């Protein structure tokens, strides 16, 4: 089985709520070379995956967990501020949906903060409709057809009247560029407590945590550039006060240092294989 990836933007009706649709086939990896698990780094977004092969999604609590937990064949990954580990010992075929902030309650029926920092079987949210959705995907005749099916399934779940709270929409437009969350709160006219509750309900995490994840995304992009910039330059360009600040934040989110990440040289920025028996 060779690696296969098909990525597609969502149809127009879903674009306010979905970033990307994708299907991938992953061959089994040689654990002696790349280890048997993969460190998944946070993206700042929620995702939904359907495992289309027989093997369920298997996740691990931490690097010391050698057993893992099978999560089923349809799983929602909530917004996270830290990494998690997934099994890479079996060849798998997976379809995924990467959501935009604010999509959780509309498409999944649950506020984002109830799903944050964990994985949830889709049947806990959709009931029997989750099984029916996977059956429809399995019946589709090609990866492109499967992406058409998942787009239709999600579009059918959109309510007739929909939209993000205007205070949250305003904040999402300002957060990447404003260092002070307090200023954004004042601009909305809401109390700090009320604004935080609105933001967490839509996005899954608090505004300052979301800012940290965005800064981490800028760091990953800079670490992937060539020629490789010095880490002190990466720190300043990404918005950290200095390199030690970068090192602390990066390790808190990714579980490894920026230098270790760079040495790992992952093919996909958010997928970092653990070395054999590694941490």
8 A C-beta contact, residue 35 and residue 274? yes
Residue 14, domain member (yes or no): yes
- What is the Cα Rg of the chain in Å? 19
Residue 7 has pLDDT above 90, yes or no: yes
Rounded CA gap, 13 and 196, in Å? 28
Q: Are residues 47 and 126 in the same domain?
A: yes
Q: How far is CA 82 from the centre of its chain?
A: 10
170 plus 247 within the same structural domain = no
Report d(CA 85, CA 36) in Å as an integer: 10
CATH code at position 38: 2.60.120
Q: Which positions ≥6 away from 21 have C-beta within 8 Å?
A: 7, 8, 9, 10, 95, 96, 97, 98, 147, 150, 151
pLDDT of amino acid 247: 96
Q: Band the pLDDT of 3: cuts 50, 70, 90.
A: low
Task: State the pLDDT at residue 1.
Answer: 47
- What whole-number distance in Å separates Cα of residue 56 and Cα of residue 205? 27
Percent of the chain with pLDDT over 70: 94
CATH number where 224 lies: 1.10.10.60
- Residue 279 covered by a domain: no
pLDDT at 134 over 90: yes
Same domain, yes or no, for 78 and 91?
A: yes
* Measured distance CA(118)–CA(66) in Å, rounded: 19
Q: pLDDT (tens digit, 9 = 90+) per residue, 208-235?
A: 999 999 999 999 999 988 898 999 999 9
Strands 37-40 and 271-273: antiparallel
pLDDT surpassing 90 at residue 77: yes
Q: At what angle do helices 192-203 and 181-188 cross, to 10 degrees?
A: 100
Averaged confidence pLDDT in the chain: 90
Q: Note every long-range contact of 62-70, with CB atoms under 8 Å and residues 24 or more positions apart, other chains counting.
A: 63/255, 63/274, 63/278, 63/279
Do both 117 and 140 map to the same domain?
A: yes
Question: If you ran DSSP here, which 8-state letter would residue 255 be given?
Answer: S
Instruction: Please give the C-alpha separations between residue 178 and each of 54, 93, 173, 201, in angstroms, as whole numbers.
Output: 46, 40, 9, 21
Q: Residue 147 domain-assigned?
A: yes
**pLDDT digits 0-9 by tens, 268-279:** 899 998 877 655
Structural domain tally of the chain?
3
Is pLDDT of 25 > 80? yes
pLDDT for the residue numbered 66: 83
**Averaged over 166-195, what is the pLDDT?**
88
Range of the domain at 44: 4-157
> Residue 62: its pLDDT value, please?
83
Closest to 132 (Cα-Cα) out of 104, 152, 158, 162: 152
State the CB neighbour count (10 A cutoff) for residue 157. Answer: 14
pLDDT band at 30 (very low <50, low <70, confident <90, very high): low
Range list of H helices, 88-205: 104-107, 123-126, 128-139, 143-157, 166-174, 181-188, 192-203
130 shares a domain with 18? yes
| Residue 233 confidence (pLDDT) | 95
């Amino acid at each position: 089985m060779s690696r296969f990836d098909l990525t597609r933007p969502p149809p127009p009706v879903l674009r306010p709520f979905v970033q990307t649709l994708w299907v991938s086939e992953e061959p089994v990896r040689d654990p002696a070379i790349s280890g048997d698990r993969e460190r998944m780094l946070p993206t700042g977004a929620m995702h939904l995956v359907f495992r289309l092969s027989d093997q369920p999604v298997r996740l691990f609590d931490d690097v010391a967990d050698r057993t893992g937990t099978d999560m089923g064949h349809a799983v929602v990954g909530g917004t996270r501020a830290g990494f998690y580990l997934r099994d890479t010992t079996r060849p798998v075929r997976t379809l995924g949906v990467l959501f935009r902030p604010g999509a959780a309650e509309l498409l999944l029926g649950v506020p984002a903060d109830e799903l944050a920092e964990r994985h949830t079987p889709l049947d806990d949210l959709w009931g029997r409709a989750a099984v029916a959705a996977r059956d429809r995907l399995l019946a589709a005749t090609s990866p492109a057809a499967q992406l058409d099916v998942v787009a239709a399934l999600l579009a059918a779940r959109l309510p007739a009247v929909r939209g993000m709270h205007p205070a949250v929409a305003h904040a999402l437009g300002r957060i990447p560029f404003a260092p002070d969350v307090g200023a954004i709160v004042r601009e909305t006219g809401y109390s700090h407590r009320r604004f935080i509750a609105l933001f967490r309900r839509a996005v899954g995490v608090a505004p300052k945590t979301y800012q940290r994840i965005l800064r981490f995304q800028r760091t990953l992009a800079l670490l992937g550039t060539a020629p490789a910039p010095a880490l002190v330059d990466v720190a300043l360009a990404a918005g950290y006060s200095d390199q030690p600040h970068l090192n602390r934040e990066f390790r808190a989110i990714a579980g490894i240092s920026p230098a270790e990440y760079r040495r790992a040289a992952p093919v996909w920025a958010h997928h970092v294989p653990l070395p054999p028996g590694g941490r």
